Chain A
């Protein structure tokens, strides 16, 4: 048996061992919470098997040659003048073609299944803006929320958009292995079928400005009864006048403000906007004779009017004046100025 075949044999064995190691490694992946995630993980797994094999093959040959064919000191000879080998060249052209074609077809099939639409799918509108996500449930009376909840086992179609004058965001749920850019002016959609109850991270994957890394919220995948109850609670909160549960300032803060501002009582550590633990001092400094309450109220409704030095203008959305009710703003103002007590 020639040296080439012997090394080739060893390389194939090592490659197979590498693939086996991939096979036996228990947890490559984070939690998967959607049918699509499992398809992706399977695909990824086979890619890993193939790659480990090829990587091991290349490495075995490389290391063997570096050791075995290394020139002895003072050896000025040349190697044999081998210019090529048609058979070998055909082999390493054809086998890769087969491998990549196989994966491309597999990938296309998986994509088709991932995006196949179910009739009873739930529609959720996702809207991105610097630096928050807003979710609307058109089939539940247009309920608007800052956190996402989904019933397990039912396909969801996310209709993703970004505020017109805003920038591109990317709606990313790692546990679903899915993301889709939210593009100003071009509506998008994304299909997911949650299959595991739990709480997961929702984040922005496309650089969207200084608050990019803070643009996070959570996803609760719930059993259908829990989801129905959640919808009812949210609706009740939204429809109730001032003084109801929807004016709970701590909840309002964490869904609207906490990703960008630091505020110890709410355990918020955002650094995009000014530190609200110093709010009273800032109000005195920038308020220009206004009462602190008026200053804070104005800053929520029209954040561009006065900008704390050291922070850029135009970052905080100017939509809170309309997206929050007057009662909610009052509750927030009180909460912020009292330091959360």
Chain B
């Protein structure tokens, strides 16, 4: 019948200017367009700047200036080319834009959809996680190279400048392209479902936030091509101002990552504050949502400070301003204050979402309510507030105003208290629980054991005399890795294992997960625990070479670091293989109460058929009859026992034609609403009285959004809707055929009437306000044009096919 559809001819009617044949891959949002637009904008910006320099009598090429403009415009060009701005651009140009109910680039139907701009928070969440793990691997590899160099004293493989680049890029990638965005990715997937929302508040902004990340990562990684930035991730001036060309790439990378981070945080704040389902009061929010609320506030308030500081460094480098130039009245220490005013809260940006994950995982896998829910939520907010009052504890030896040290020591000590409250509350949650030691729970326990070390060494470092002795030594290296690996990475792993079934609809391999945990846990502690001792002995951090007395221990640390690196391969294999070949996951494998487990795995495209009603605590395990939420799921149409009028299957060709001509022919016209329950019910009621055969056509001449949307996707989505309708009708024993036609609906109907006259027409549309067909008076035109009875069925909402 598809071939039949192609034979039909007639004027092709275009409603929108952007319609017609599928737009070329060069012009529609795609990787091809991303590459050429990025290259074009970058090169054009570079050439214009060089031209202006030439005209004003300077040397045309200046690495810093040209790089800045090339990366800025090349980076923006990438997001333009991939398609993040298309929708907004249509507004700007006054082009017709699809109605905001349009969801054509929403949801993933094939693996290819993960490589396109997508507005579905679940797709974006997965995009975030996969991307951040790529950068995690790169940054981890840099760490292994560092450990290779440090395995023995003296210079082995890398010149000191390259070595400084290795640890600088390692830290920058781990912080800005792994830990922070990995939490944004997990939050993206989970938070909207947890609060009973259909998506994030600003789905297109969400997509843009994601697509800025690869740009940021490329800026940082490609700095190795021009001489990597080598002033550490802290990028202290004046060293950063003097540094190699890669410094510019670092600044631009931070700007893109920072912009992404701010946009995501705004999105989370608006989503959490305004889009909670009915009944989801603040005191009924899962603790991960609390954590994200606090984190997002920190990001919005803090990130502009690092962005500003890095711009000032960039201006000092390329515009010869003197923000931080002591020879012209600049103040070197001012940079550190501004930097740490962001970067200390950034530690909590990297910790709080992990705390949220741990609260979920421990409560669910111990089958017990979280202990002291309100106190944990309050301490989360307290950490967020106190987080802004402790920054100068990074600067006890920096030469800042000496009086500032004592108050900063007290605030830093104070922040240990809410952190301690959380630790003890998690332990108490496990008490008398029914603990299922699955991989996420193992990582949560691993987190408790390692984070307590990081927290305690934090108290050491808060005490000024001890900090004076140990700051800038390996003691600090050990501390930050206990906090950011034991704290952040372990919680990210816990979160990924915990929600893997929800994200992929597959179960991970429990045995491999446990192997991964134990390898990581043992190798991690063996790598970083001895570093405390090295630091105490006086081995400074960030050195390419060290006195030979530290040789033995460094060799041991390097070997353990290699094992730690190798343990990641177990994880990658488990994830890839389970996603591809894993057992199908049930909706709620952990028997959890929170909302994301009350929908299918993976969740439907819009998460919920109706907004869920929240009725109680998210952690009421062990409370008889307790519920967190009432979730209404629209049951798929159940096949009814309708007698098959004629045994067509056994008929001969002639009999078949005779039978077919004897059946009453009904023509069904519908597009978005084709799989609607009411339409199917209308057809069934006819079949119940008369033997009928049905032809369903889906006129699809004007993809609703020719500028943004890939038309093939629209057709595929239409075909999927049609197929589900045909299946439903056939299950009910109704003989039917159907096809998608590239016509306007009127012409399409007239074509069928001419070829194979029906005795009745059923047209299904959206309600008057949203239906283009009704605006064009389709029903009356059909009645006049065909002189057949035309029934009009209204479906309230488009039924999207489920994955």
Contact = CB atoms under 8 A, between A and B. Distances in A.
Interface residues of A, number: 87
B792 interface: no
Interface residue SS majority, chain A: mixed
Given A100-B417, A108-B464, A271 B427 contact: no
Nearest to B402: A115
Nearest to A113: B465
A11 to B, nearest CB: 11
B538 A107 contact: no
Contacts of A51: 456-457, 459-460
Contact of B445 (A40, A62, A181): A62
Contact of A81 (B230, B453, B623): B623
A30 to B, nearest CB: 5
Given A58-B423, A66-B445, A183-B333, A81 B369 contact: yes
A165 B409 contact: no
A77 B434 contact: yes
Contact of B432 (A66, A79, A97, A312): A79
Interface stretch (B113-121, B544-552, B757-765, B776-784): B544-552
Interface stretch (B1-9, B62-70, B185-193, B466-474): B466-474
B399 A69 contact: no
Interface string A163-189: 011111010101101111101111010
Interface string B405-445: 11001100110110011011101101111111100000001
A89 interface: yes
Interface residues of B, number: 91
B397 A78 contact: no
Contacts of A30: 536-538
| Residue from the set B435, B436, B448, B623 with the largest chain A CB neighbour count within 10 Å | B435
Nearest to B437: A70
A292 B292 CA distance: 67
Contacts of A77: 367, 434
B724 interface: no
A136 B710 CA distance: 73
A108 B406 contact: yes
B332 A103 contact: no
Contacts of B371: 82-85
Contacts of A124: none
A229 interface: no
A66 B437 contact: yes
B266 to A, nearest CB: 33
A71 B366 CA distance: 9
A75 B372 CA distance: 25
Contacts of B425: 89
A2 to B, nearest CB: 11
Contacts of B333: 183, 186
Contacts of B542: 207, 212
Contacts of A69: 366, 430-435
Contact of B465 (A59, A70, A107, A167): A107
Contacts, number: 275
Interface string B221-253: 000000000111000101100101000000000
Given A65-B430, A80-B622, A100-B416, A201 B547 contact: yes
A203 B540 contact: yes
Contact of A212 (B409, B410, B543): B543
Contacts of A104: 409-410, 413, 462-463
A179 B397 contact: yes
Given A83-B371, A84-B373, A172-B472, A59 B449 contact: yes
B90 interface: no
Interface string B587-625: 000010000000000000000000000000000111100
Contacts of B545: 213-214, 271
Interface string A125-168: 00000000000000000000000000000000000000011111
Given A44-B469, A69-B431, 15 more contacts: A47-B463, A47-B466, A51-B460, A58-B449, A59-B452, A62-B427, A79-B368, A101-B413, A111-B406, A164-B326, A178-B468, A179-B469, A185-B331, A212-B542, A312-B244
Interface of B: 154-155, 159-161, 164, 230-232, 236, 238-239, 242, 244, 326-327, 330-333, 366-369, 371-375, 397-399, 405-406, 409-410, 413-414, 416-417, 420-421, 423-425, 427-428, 430-437, 445, 448-449, 452-453, 456-457, 459-460, 462-466, 468-469, 471-473, 536-538, 540-547, 591, 620-623, 626
30 contacts: A36-B465, A47-B459, A51-B457, A51-B459, A55-B456, A62-B430, A69-B430, A70-B436, A77-B367, A78-B622, A79-B366, A81-B369, A82-B428, A85-B428, A88-B424, A89-B375, A89-B421, A92-B421, A93-B421, A100-B414, A100-B459, A114-B465, A164-B327, A179-B471, A185-B330, A186-B331, A201-B547, A209-B239, A212-B544, A271-B545
